[in-house]
Amino acid sequence: MKSKQPKTTLKRSVAFCGLGLMLASGSALADFAPLSMDSPYAFGDWEGSRTQLKNDGVDFQVNYTMESASNFSGGYNQSTSARYTDQWAFGTTLDLEKLLNWNDTQFQTTITSRNGQDLTQYINDPRSGGLSSVQEVWGRGQTWRLTQFWLNKGFFDHAVEVKAGRVTVGEDFDSFDSNFQNLAFGSGQAGNWRGDRWYNWPVSQWGGRVKFNFTPELFFQVGFYNQTPSNYDTGNGFRLDTSPTLGNMVPVELGWKPAFGADKLPGNYRVGMYYSSVRGDNYSSYNEGQYGEDNHSYGGYLLLQQQLTAMEGDNTRGLGVTVQAVMNDQKTSKTDNYQSVSFVWKGPFDARPKDEIGVGAARIHVNNDYGNMLRKTNQENGVNDYDNPTYLPIQSGSEYNYEIYYNAQVTNWLKLRPNLQYVASPGAVSEVKNAFVGGISANINF
């Protein structure tokens, strides 16, 4: 799943050049000067032209996310060297109703670039790899990608929406916003523990979804996504063919987004399942170096998110809770179940109303049949010593991830998030010591 690291210097140079050209094209910046504390953009408002373009139906997004982490103690390799990874995202949203008089129609294109190195690989035994990641923005290939290229059309006064193009599953299904740095607490968890079937950001594929909005709060949606594993490969980020197609994935989801009480406390409740026609090895059928059966894949998920309090009637501040769970089939999935709970307190201090504090705990369980397959392999190879380089570490039981962070809204365009993480039983390998990790992430809207 992890590929050879590309040279990052050239990539960053290209990215900064692109940003420089965009800055230059904005003529003189006035309304919100560059680096203004109050501006939503680090590059300012281009003499008001950026806001005017957005009002006219053209919205530009340039976003930079970085995540660094250092292993304070524990893990497989107890090096304290820090690792740094980042992601650039360049996007444009077109409101085609405003631009072309196409009723209730939107177009989105986004190009992403991921760079850097990951600390997680040092925490886990390299022979087995890990489960979660202490730097969620790393992974899925360190490369440039066409992440979004889709059209969304509403029908019957927005009662039905049809979206199609190059899409990521997690932007529509099992979706919410998160500021945690550990992968186990973000959006699209169904794809994190079945990434060979469910392609999350920034990996896109041809597909789409039909969404039925029964009320402003209640909806049902079904998707259809092409399964082409080469989409993961470094250098294939702009490859648009579907070869080799192994099958298709179909997720369905029922969602409810209520607002409770006089303070209209927002909620986000989703329950869904998926089925993939791609066949995979049945771990329980392993014997003498081969699998006797292969099966289709399926699973389900639950997302319960609710703000619990408001502060002086302001529902943008207060305490919220998120509960997540994923169940995957026990025939073809390495991780067969996952659960997490997290709390986020937005605007904890009157002097810092846009800051937030988050704390979370997650459990990721390895399929027992997968662990038994590893044991059989070691027996067949005549290896039973963990320190033998050819030994396959037994992944059994669960890995546990914990995180606490403080998100500081330094300006309207800059967020800084120091965090502390604890990984217990990394990779669900009992011989690997628990790891204590410190990190810091930042998000900049240009």
Cβ distance 330 to 336 under 8 Å?
yes
pLDDT score recorded for residue 47: 82
Cβ distance 154 to 141 under 8 Å?
no
CA distances from 151 to 34, 53, 97, 238, 397 (A): 32, 19, 12, 18, 43
Which amino acid, residue 281?
D
Count how many Cα atoms sit within 13 Å of the Cα of residue 226 in the half-sphere of its side chain. 19
| DSSP code string of 176-239 | -----SSGGGSS-HHHHSSTTTS--TT--EEEEEEEEESSSSEEEEEEEEEE-GGGGSTT-TT-
pLDDT score recorded for residue 3: 40
pLDDT score recorded for residue 7: 41
**Which residue is listed with tokens 């699998």?**
291
Q: Is 292 exposed, middle or buried (0-12, 13-18, 19+ CB in 10 A)?
A: exposed
pLDDT score recorded for residue 31: 64
In a domain, 258, yes or no: yes
Residues in contact with 157: Cβ distance below 8 Å, sequence separation at least 6, in sequence order? none
pLDDT score recorded for residue 173: 97
In a domain, 121, yes or no: yes
pLDDT score recorded for residue 30: 44
Pairwise CA distance, residues 93 & 362, whole Å: 34
In a domain, 25, yes or no: no
| DSSP code string of 238-298 | T-----S--EEEEEEEEEE--EETTTTEEEEEEEEEEEEEEEEE-GGGEETTEES-EEEEE
pLDDT score recorded for residue 242: 82
Counting the structural domains of the chain, the total is: 1
Longest Cα separation, the chain? 72
Cβ distance 84 to 48 under 8 Å?
no
Range of the domain at 152: 49-445
The CB density around residue 341, as the number of other CB atoms within 10 Å, is 16
Q: What is the mean pLDDT of each run of 10 residues along the chain (446 residues)?
A: 40 42 38 81 87 93 96 88 93 97 97 94 92 92 92 96 96 95 95 92 94 97 91 81 88 97 96 95 92 94 97 93 97 96 96 96 97 95 94 96 97 96 96 96 96
Name the pTM for this structure.
0.88
In a domain, 30, yes or no: no
CATH number, position 325? 2.40.160.180
In a domain, 62, yes or no: yes
